[in-house]
Copies of this chain bind each other. A is one copy, B any other.
């Protein structure tokens, strides 16, 4: 246990000044080939690596991005986390992850925590903001990007899929496929994803001269989605929907299970189910769920791009709301009619 090699020790061994060592490890700095070589040799010999914390302190840049995420049980966020990690790492940043329950209090707590680490930027995934939180970031001078949520707070940049358009796609697909009793199972009512998907769905139904047959709330939770499904199907057959649009895949799986195993109904022969996200299990044989794809790769790329733009040019501050279109992926869960 004798690490903690400092730039001084390297300098001494290489016969140069400590600042020379620093320069060798600072990308843009001016050093001669010769010094650089000597320093690198010495550094290798001693196993020297710069202390990022010390560097962060003096430079004011930690190269850490804080990521706050609420629903890790939803596989979409796992995927996103992985991609975010890769995207940032590729640019020399690392992510400090904070997991919270999505309530005001925890988010504010965690916000304080995260700022203590002098992060260079923050990504909030599926978190619902208060303007208070936003101003905390702003006061601290830390750029913030909202992922998969959009919010009407002053100038907050957000990246989402085009949820309204997605809801519309589901509606027109189901209507054209011949379904007539269309139900909707909502996510958390305050989430923009929930609101937009429902809005798109309803307005497209209206455009086709139809309207919602039933509506329940699942709150983005497996358990509550099951409850919602039961309320929908605890009815004599004529009062049951023939198609259910569920606000995300995670809930849709639970809904399908209830429909098939508690009510003995067939999907899609008796009732079609459509989700949103296209998480991995959606393509698994047991569910084969029709769903709207959220293009995680693109969304993550845009997130990184937006965040680095803010980091690099804090003054040219223009909030953007980027919406990324995603295809409807038709699978067996809705292939009955037509």
Q: Which residues of A contact B (CB under 8 A)?
A: 1-4, 47, 49-54, 56-57, 62, 64, 72-73, 75, 78-79, 81-82, 85-86, 94-99, 112-113, 115-118, 138-141, 222, 253-254, 256-258, 260-262, 280-281, 284-287, 314
Contacts and interface: CB of A to CB of B under 8 A. Distances in A.
Nearest to A75: B75
Task: Give the top 3 A-B pairs by smallest Cβ distance, nearest first.
Answer: A257-B285, A286-B286, A261-B285
Contacts of A50: 116
Contacts of A4: 140-141
Contact of A96 (B79, B94, B112): B94
Contacts of A57: 51, 53-54, 57
Given A78-B78, A95-B97, A258-B285, A51 B116 contact: yes
B56 A1 contact: no
A313 to B, nearest CB: 14
Given A57-B54, A85-B99, A140-B3, A49 B116 contact: yes
A109 to B, nearest CB: 10
Q: How many copies does the complex hold?
A: 2
A281 to B, nearest CB: 7
B98 A94 contact: yes
A261 B73 CA distance: 26
Nearest to A51: B118
Contact of A286 (B96, B222, B253): B253
A4 B141 CA distance: 9
Contacts of A281: 253, 281
B94 A141 contact: no
Q: Which residue of A47, A116, A222 has the most chain B CB atoms within 10 A of its CB atom?
A: A116
A329 to B, nearest CB: 17
A73 B285 contact: no
Interface centre among A1, A50, A86, A260 (most CB of B within 10 A): A1
A273 to B, nearest CB: 12
8 contacts: A1-B138, A2-B139, A47-B139, A49-B112, A50-B116, A72-B82, A261-B286, A286-B286
A81 B72 contact: yes
A42 to B, nearest CB: 17
Contacts of A260: 285-286
B75 A98 contact: no
A335 to B, nearest CB: 14
Given A94-B113, A95-B97, A257-B286, 18 more contacts: A1-B139, A3-B139, A3-B141, A4-B141, A49-B112, A50-B116, A72-B78, A72-B82, A73-B79, A75-B75, A75-B78, A85-B97, A94-B96, A222-B280, A253-B284, A257-B284, A260-B285, A262-B285
